[in-house]
Amino acid sequence: MSDERSIDLSAPPVIETARLRLRPFVEDDAPRLTALLEAFEVVEFTAGYPHPFGLDDARRQLERQRHLAEAGQAVHWAIEPIETPPGSLNGLCGGVLAKLDAPCRNAELGYWLGRNAWGRGFATEAGRAVIDWCFGAWNANRVEAHHVARNPSSGRVLEKLGMQQEGHLRQRQRRWERFEDVILYAVLRGEWQAR
């Protein structure tokens, strides 16, 4: 029996947790995305977002996400508090990425939150939901994530998700004319099931 599962990533499901709704991004999210990513503290540790970040950057990012989903390569969710109306973002937005490598059944988790959402456990809650989706709906064997070494709070999130540190990649990423060390984490299907 094959472990391949065909999922239309261009229409990802809405995922609800105790406090959050993870939903597909829509074009109307561009202004809010712009407002959240204007803060250098938010984009500093991300890969690929420019600074300053403007409305045209947000529109390009949403278009890029759409193309990746249509190609079956990645899915992104907007993160918003569940008590707010859908689409409001209500001061909280994040990108959770499941980059999918079908032959090896590997997925990659990524996330960011607006400053007003820091320290509330939202990254852990959203990450757990996406990992569940990767192992469940997509039938992944491995989910990995990484963070810039100068951002240990992201590492704490990954540890709370049951991931194990697998490596320290020296000067793996270049941002703002600076080479950054990156810490690699992962969790395997059997470890996730045993939690």
Q: Could you write out the DSSP letters of every residue in 77-145?
A: EEEEETTSPTT--TT----EEEEEETTTTEEEEE----GGGTTSSHHHHHHHHHHHHHHHTS--SEEEE
Domain that holds residue 103: 15-144
176 within a domain of the structure (yes/no): no
Residue 35 belongs to some domain of the structure: yes
Q: What is the CATH number of the domain that holds 117?
A: 3.40.630.30
Instruction: Please check whether residue 122 lies inside any domain of the structure.
Output: yes
Count of alpha carbons within 13 Å of 134, Cβ hemisphere only? 36
Q: Write down the pLDDT at residue 40.
A: 94
| Tens-digit pLDDT profile for residues 165-183 | 999 999 999 988 899 999 9
**Cα 88 to Cα 93: distance, rounded to the nearest angstrom:** 10
Q: Per the domain annotation, does 80 fall within a domain?
A: yes
Longest dimension (CA), the chain: 50
| Domain annotation covers residue 89 | yes
Is position 7 within any domain? no
Question: Into how many domains does the chain fold?
Answer: 1
| pTM summary value | 0.91
